[in-house]
Chain A
Amino acid sequence: AQKITQTQPGMFVQEKEAVTLDCTYDTSDQSYGLFWYKQPSSGEMIFLIYQGSYDEQNATEGRYSLNFQKARKSANLVISASQLGDSAMYFCAMRVGYSGGSNYKLTFGKGTLLTVNP
């Protein structure tokens, strides 16, 4: 069974500083994908960034980067230059395999609530 662990229920960061949100995963499959989603107080889940298990480079999307350490089974999200609008719940998720059917499922962690202070 797959499992995602986010050990930080809440995090605080000063505006303009960088912050790292932790995510570790557990799977016996070799093919998997890791996702980060943002959920603002409005409730809608927003896809941020993706890392495939065979990707050799860490994924980056603007101010978001994913620190992927395969041997440690970690996929931490790094947000650079935090903004007040980054205050939200952040979820790490994993999909196993690529061939369809139940491989379309995502397993989510419990989330980390990030608060950006002015």
Chain B
Amino acid sequence: DVKVTQSSRYLVKRTGEKVFLECVQDMDHENMFWYRQDPGLGLRLIYFSYDVKMKEKGDIPEGYSVSREKKERFSLILESASTNQTSMYLCASSDATAFLYEQYFGPGTRLTVT
């Protein structure tokens, strides 16, 4: 079974703090993704990576950065957290050699910025 893990289920940070959200997958997938999920807005792609050290902006990259130094790990960084970044963050991975490219998701991190 594919396993995608995220470092925290719940996180509370203060405005202006630097926040790191970590995601690890154990299936040697090439592709990794970060989404945020807000009520009524569905999932919106922040960044994705299709190879180590490669990244591409998604639909809402402002205020975020990412790092992928190893194939299994994809980090989302909030350089200076703001209250409008309070959200559920979901990490996903997919196999670039698979036919469907279906994404496998982690359990999510609910981030609150106060």
Which residues from chain B contact A46 at a C-beta distance below 8 Å? Answer: 105
Q: Which residue of A lies closest to B107 (CB)?
A: A44
Chain B contact residue count (CB 8 A cutoff):
28
Instruction: Tell me if B92 is interfacial: C-beta within 8 Å of chain A.
Output: yes
A25 proximal to B (CB < 8 A) = no
Is B96 at the interface (CB under 8 A from chain A)? yes
Residue pair A104, B107 in contact (C-beta under 8 Å): no
Which among A6, A45, A47, A50 is the interface contact of B90 at CB below 8 angstroms? A45
Quick one: given A33-B101, A104-B48, are A44 and B96 in contact (CB under 8 Å)?
no
The reply on B64 being an interface residue by CB < 8 A is no
Scan residues 49-88 of chain A and give those whose CB is less than 8 A from a CB of chain B: 50
> What's the tally of chain A residues with a CB closer than 8 Å to chain B?
28
Closest to A106 in B: B103
Kindly provide the distance from the CB of B108 to the nearest chain A CB, expressed in whole angstroms.
Answer: 4
- CA–CA, A100 and B97, complex, Å: 9
- B101: A residues at CB distance < 8 A: 33, 95, 98, 103-104
Asked if A118 is an interface residue, CB under 8 A from chain B, the answer is no
- Interface on B for A, CB 8 Å cutoff? 31, 33, 35, 40-45, 48, 50, 56, 58, 88, 90, 92, 94, 96, 100-108, 110
Residues of A within 8 A of B (CB): 6, 9, 33, 35, 37, 42-47, 50, 91, 93, 95, 98, 100-111
7 tightest Cβ-Cβ pairs between the two chains A and B: A45-B105, A110-B42, A108-B43, A43-B108, A108-B42, A104-B31, A47-B102
A-B contacts, 12 of them at CB < 8 A, read A9-B40, A33-B101, A37-B105, A44-B107, A91-B42, A95-B101, A100-B96, A102-B56, A105-B33, A108-B42, A108-B44, A110-B41
